[in-house]
Structure 1
Amino acid sequence: MNKIRFGIVGVGNMGSIHADYLFNNQIERAELTAICDLKPERLQWAKEKFSDKVKLFSDAEEMFNSRLVDAVIIATPHYEHPRLAIKAAENGLNVLTEKPAGVYTKQVREMNAKLQKSGKIFGIMYNQRTNPLYRKLKDIISSGELGEIKRTNWIITDWYRSQSYYDSGEWRATWAGEGGGVLLNQDPHQLDLWQWTCGMPKRVRAFMSFGKYKNIEVEDDVTAYVEYENGATGLFVTTTGEAPGTNRFEVSGDRGKIVIEDGKLTFWRLRQSEREFNREYKGGFGAPECWKCEVPIDGEAEQHKGITKNFVKAILDGTELLAPGIDGIKGLTISNAMHLSAWANDWVELPINEELYYELLKEKIKNSTYKKNNESRKLDINGTF
């Protein structure tokens, strides 16, 4: 095999982007050979755009069995990601899924186990892992130059969405259609980067509002406090109802502080660790000498294309995945914990009680406007129609 033949399941907003760059040969050693979508209008769009050069399907399993593809990109609504990933792997295909990995960790844990057992390459579209800002942050933290982490703080409120955005699809911002709000739709990248660079917390206390700013049933305003195993603390603040918003990620450690904001990484670097200074200094008022360093960032974020390029290399060359699919459960665990904490108005320890989360989510789905508007359609155990 010297070229990977891709099939795409779902050509909505994201799937159409993947289809376009693959069809136009922007990924070396990859080509677009098939597209699947349930909606006739999307298949008509694909027919007009790609002519007869791409085979079209209305059934995903039919495409998986066609022998026309070696790998699939799954770009469907969230609930369907695990089911389709498992089916694709069972048919011997490599899988690259859009974020989030799924809606609840019980579902995603099953997917991870089956995909690992399949032996196929499994990736997730965490395209922000290609961003050199966050790669540099991870490098500095991993190298020990920042010292032991004391505090993390991410304010990510530049996700403004209008009511017309939510009204553009009846599934949007519903428990049955999307499985959550800002945490499931907008924030999976930030939740992943948070744990990718700083590690997983051990417990979470979250406060959130549901339909606070718009006429929706899921969360649109979240403030969460977390604690880490080493005693460090963290704060995550997000919303879709604020304009203008802020995107500022701050990590404080024993040897200084790093801030990512406005496309820059700034390192306030201590010449001596704070703990050493505290032990040795006898002058009363005082603080360690600090240098403000504008850290140079090399390269550019290749975004979705970068993840797809890496995925192709993993299949053909054995290159390590930048975003392994099994990592998707980590950020999802944090968001599930935030939901559980808000629903119970209490602390939630990690790992979470997956069965409790699943049962509470099913109650949300049962009362969802999307389900009630589609009562003639059967809701399966995974919460999808």
Structure 2
Amino acid sequence: MEQKIRWGIIGLGNIAHSFIKDLALVNNAEITAVASRNLEKSKTFAGEYHVPLAFGSYSELLECKEVDVVYIATPHTFHAELSIMAMDHGKHVLCEKPMGISTEEVEKMIASAKKNNVFLMEALWSRFNPAIRKVKSLVESGEIGDIAYLHADFAFYALDRDFQGRVLNPKLAGGSLLDIGIYPIFLTYLLLGKPDEVLSTSNFHDNGAEIQTSMIFKYPEAHAVLYSGFTSGSEMKAQISGKKGTIVIPERWHQAQGYSVQRENEREEFTLPTQGKGYFHEINEVHACLAEGKLESALWSHQNTLDLIGLMDTVRSQNGIHFPQKE
């Protein structure tokens, strides 16, 4: 009988609810412990999902011998510290995106993974989405020719939210860039690599939070036009255009359930749904890597995470996006 991989979850917000539901779909996964800084919240979450152990501190979970892998789903500013603590306790780590809020943080996390000889991966779930993986293979095989233009956006209205919450609080590395701008940047990097030049501009709320960012990534023969924002909604689809055709990933492209390919006057639509909400696929990647004794994923490596945070550092530097108390 295949031995189950035992998971613990640190940080029990909305994303943890989605993650644990998909974890239940993975055959050899077992949720054994959850932790919040609020014990009652932890007990309530554990009761809802029948988790054996509920802790009121993160350190208690990290000391628990019944946990093999920790999923970290706290606000951005705690990712590096908690990941390093977990790895120092010998735990494998799947850390929610962005893995760190700066290149410096990510470098420290990767160094800790190597020192402790444990697995570490950024939980960039869209990388493992079946439709996005298929789109990448189509681009690489030359299905639409060399890419000349890419457009991707991600936006929703968030200015009615609590300004002390993680989305809009600069002290928690809030703002659209790290929270949702990471997705269009990721897609461009995945399909085109690192750009030769980044052009960007941002708007800010009175509290200092970045709430709109537009970007152009310049390549020798292509432009990528990207956007993230909290001031309104957007179409939230991705368009990848080459010399022989166009691929479109429809609305809410980051959790794609399919795509279309258009060549001249012909358009074909393809359905390629996720298991569960989509976290299932990144969990499977963690399990596959652990089964093979890998310390990083070939699909989303430590270098990929470093490249991605480097691009976001560039945009932050260009626009003066700062996170008080973290810098």
Shorter-chain TM-score tier: 0.7 to 0.9
State which of 215, 220, 244 in structure 2 corresponds to 1:224: 215
Q: C-alpha distance in 2, partners of 1:148/1:80?
A: 40
Opposite residue 254 of structure 1, the aligned amino acid is K
Q: Secondary structure at the match of 2:162?
A: helix
RMSD (Å) for aligned C-alpha atoms: 2.7
Task: Quote the offset at 1:193 in angstroms.
Answer: 2.3
Task: Quote the offset at 1:206 in angstroms.
Answer: 0.7
Q: C-alpha distance in 2, partners of 1:151/1:47?
A: 47
State which of 130, 144, 161 in structure 2 corresponds to 1:146: 144
TM-score normalised over the length of structure 1: 0.74
TM-score normalised over the length of structure 2: 0.86
Q: Secondary structure at the match of 2:170?
A: coil
Aligned to 2:169: 174
Q: C-alpha distance in 2, partners of 1:48/1:261?
A: 37
Task: Quote the offset at 1:4 in angstroms.
Answer: 0.8
Aligned to 1:123: 121
Q: Does 1:241 align with 2:231?
A: yes
Q: C-alpha distance in 2, partners of 1:170/1:144?
A: 44
Q: Does 1:293 align with 2:267?
A: yes
Aligned to 2:59: 61
Q: Does 1:161 align with 2:155?
A: no
State which of 199, 203, 208 in structure 2 corresponds to 1:205: 199
Contact 1:136 1:297 (C-alpha < 8 Å) held by counterparts:
no
Contact 1:131 1:301 (C-alpha < 8 Å) held by counterparts:
no
Task: Quote the offset at 1:318 in angstroms.
Answer: 5.4
Contact 1:75 1:97 (C-alpha < 8 Å) held by counterparts:
yes
Q: C-alpha distance in 1, partners of 2:283/2:13?
A: 18
Provide the identity percentage.
23
Q: What are structure 2's unaligned runs of at least 5 residues?
A: 252-256
Distance 1:134 1:21, change over 3 A: closer
Opposite residue 33 of structure 1, the aligned amino acid is T
Task: Quote the offset at 1:336 in angstroms.
Answer: 2.1
* CA-to-aligned-CA distance 1:55-91 (integer Å, 9 cap, x gap): 2223323322221211100111101112222222222
Task: Quote the offset at 1:300 in angstroms.
Answer: 3.0
Q: What are structure 1's unaligned runs of at least 5 residues?
A: 270-289, 344-359, 366-378
Aligned to 1:304: 279
Q: Secondary structure at the match of 1:67?
A: coil
Contact 2:22 2:279 (C-alpha < 8 Å) held by counterparts:
no
Count of residues paired in the alignment: 318
Distance 1:261 1:20, change over 3 A: closer
Aligned to 1:286: none
Q: C-alpha distance in 1, partners of 2:66/2:54?
A: 11
Distance 1:150 1:11, change over 3 A: same
Contact 1:311 1:321 (C-alpha < 8 Å) held by counterparts:
no
Task: Quote the offset at 1:236 in angstroms.
Answer: 0.7
* CA-to-aligned-CA distance 1:333-359 (integer Å, 9 cap, x gap): 22222221123xxxxxxxxxxxxxxxx
Task: Quote the offset at 1:162 in angstroms.
Answer: 4.3
Aligned to 2:135: 137
Q: Does 1:194 align with 2:185?
A: no
Q: C-alpha distance in 2, partners of 1:116/1:143?
A: 34
Opposite residue 259 of structure 1, the aligned amino acid is V
Q: C-alpha distance in 2, partners of 1:265/1:43?
A: 39
Opposite residue 248 of structure 1, the aligned amino acid is K
Q: Does 1:256 align with 2:245?
A: yes
Of the structure 1 ranges 79-88 and 249-258, higher mean CA displacement relative to structure 2 is found in 249-258
Opposite residue 200 of structure 2, the aligned amino acid is A
Q: C-alpha distance in 2, partners of 1:217/1:40?
A: 32
Q: C-alpha distance in 1, partners of 2:3/2:132?
A: 32
Opposite residue 29 of structure 1, the aligned amino acid is N
Structure with the greater alpha carbon radius of gyration: 1
Contact 2:167 2:179 (C-alpha < 8 Å) held by counterparts:
no
Of the structure 1 ranges 12-21 and 74-83, higher mean CA displacement relative to structure 2 is found in 12-21
Q: C-alpha distance in 2, partners of 1:210/1:198?
A: 29
Q: Secondary structure at the match of 1:308?
A: helix
Q: Does 1:9 align with 2:10?
A: yes
Distance 1:232 1:91, change over 3 A: same
Distance 1:56 1:235, change over 3 A: same
Q: C-alpha distance in 2, partners of 1:87/1:326?
A: 21
Aligned to 1:267: 261
Distance 1:324 1:151, change over 3 A: same
Distance 1:103 1:57, change over 3 A: same
Opposite residue 247 of structure 1, the aligned amino acid is M
Distance 1:106 1:231, change over 3 A: farther
Q: C-alpha distance in 1, partners of 2:124/2:82?
A: 18
Contact 1:208 1:223 (C-alpha < 8 Å) held by counterparts:
yes
